[in-house]
Amino acid sequence: MKYETRKQSLTSSQAMVTSNHPLASSVGLSILAAGGNAFDAASGTAFALSVVEPMMVGPFGGGFTNFYIPNQGFFTIDGYASAPGKSSETMFNPVEFEDGPSGLFEVEDKLNQNGYLAVATPGNLQVWSHLVEKFGKFSLKDVISPAIQIARNGFQVSDYLSNNIRDNFTELSKHSESSSIYLPNGDIPQKGDIIKNPNFALVLEGIANNGSAYLYEGELGQHVEDEMLDNGGLLSLDDLRRQKFFYRNPVIGTYKDFQIHSVGPVSSGGICLIQMLNILENFDLQKYSITDPQRIHILSEVFKIVFADRYEYIGDPEYVKIPVEGLISKKYALERSKEINLHRAQSYEFTHNFKLNDSENTTHFNVADSEGNIVSMTQTINNAFGSKVALKGTGMLLNNCMELFDPNPGMANSIHPYKRCLSSMTPTIITKGTKPYLVLGTPGGRKIFGAVAQALLALTNNGLSLQASAEAPRIWTDGGVLELEYEFDENVKTSLASLGHQVSSVNRVAGGLNAIMFDNELMIGAACHRADGSPSGLSGGYAMPSKPGDAFRDY
């Protein structure tokens, strides 16, 4: 099947970086070209993204890292944000809806979305620093240096960034530091305009010179506490000192000839991805095109089953006992597959009548080096521009990860001091036999693992290229409306409606998926059209060594 793509993939032999901004990808690649490894490049890419994709990611956020080291294996790091020590399950007043749950954790005055009460204790900076200090070849100062220069000298605004600023104009304008950067003279920057963030450059220099302790123990952390106290926030320097990242056991499953290595709780992504693929193995999807209504019907029913189990079983492993092995077992998947009626849409029960919030405003990137190291990272400050608050004098946006908790008391995902909220992030590394085959991930909140699964299915079942698999139209549902990206035609929607689906056309499902595929000695990088994604690759190499007495000849 051929699919016309908007972007082109890239092939290289030595190294590859795929991220959701070309400038960030080029920063990661420059670090690799200078002799750094995948861990140096991943950290450098993350810091660069915090400048050029500021609405999605920053050091004051949270995320998950999945990485592979040859002859050592697969590892995952949970660097997600946690609730401040002074938080409580009654700190917000939930909004009541006459027609039942809205699907969002809305509270009065949107205090869990915007402003200082929305800020949770960040984990990103600890992990970005750790990757360099533990596994890298360069110093933290080396990998941060490009981001410092970009923040100081500026970068061009894309349509994607301009639209995000426009969509968040009102809230950004309420905070002087935020508006001074992203709304110069009160105007929305347009494509081609230059944004500079010199205050953030100074913060990055402080991190370069002092490490993550600059935030978690030192001057920057004290500045955070002072501003919180002045504005009714809860986050303290003690919260920052207590924050830790955790190595978690990877979640491992199989799909056909492939082995799936992904992240586990507090992310639900790996479990849900593997459960989806396990159930789908019981159907012959290869006979359907991507736009076939029968294929979409099967996928949507599997989505519903997986979400029913997600709501029931998965949470913070420090507070909830999670039956991981049961959820990802082939036997359980077979039992669940038998519940699907190929001719009628159904509902699938779950115990707790609540939904989990999850931001679609996230970023993802992958790095592979010539030594065989692979790093896959999904990172966020939650909503676009996080809490909309940039810390005064720093240019650093603060997250709004408190929105990810259920504001209702007594629930599995209710707020508790130091607790982590449930995520859907799915940075995933796939092997075939003993060799890496694919590394991929995407932004998109609760839609992440479904988008990752659909890209993998397009590649392995439908024979699409990597680029086409990343861009192919997607679907999503968690049991309510079935969302179809706008590329599906009316005949498809009519067929699905006849099966009992409530269908809605949307601009996009999830965000900028990007991936690296390994093909013998080559790497193929791709990034889809839903964000500013771009692959950057390194080929060629150094000159052949000369022998004593050899003379240069210009043939």
Residues marked active site are found at 362
Place of tokens 């494509």: 191
Determine how many CB atoms are found less than 10 A away from the CB of residue 16.
Answer: 34
C-beta separation of 509 from 475 below 8 A: yes
CA-CA distance, 411 to 404, in Å (whole number)?
13
Question: Which two three-digit tokens encode residue 259?
Answer: 């082995």
Crossing angle for the helix pair 490-498 and 293-313, to the nearest 10 degrees: 60
- Closest alpha carbon to 416 in 161, 120, 170: 120
CA-CA distance, 506 to 483, in Å (whole number)?
6
DSSP state at residue 354: -
- For 58-197, where are the alpha helices, taking DSSP H only? 124-135, 140-153, 159-167, 169-172, 176-182
- Closest alpha carbon to 373 in 63, 71, 54, 99: 71
Crossing angle for the helix pair 124-135 and 38-52, to the nearest 10 degrees: 150
Longest CA–CA separation in the chain, Å: 88
Place of tokens 């002092």: 210
CA-CA distance, 452 to 449, in Å (whole number)?
5
CA-CA distance, 98 to 90, in Å (whole number)?
21
C-beta separation of 161 from 20 below 8 A: no
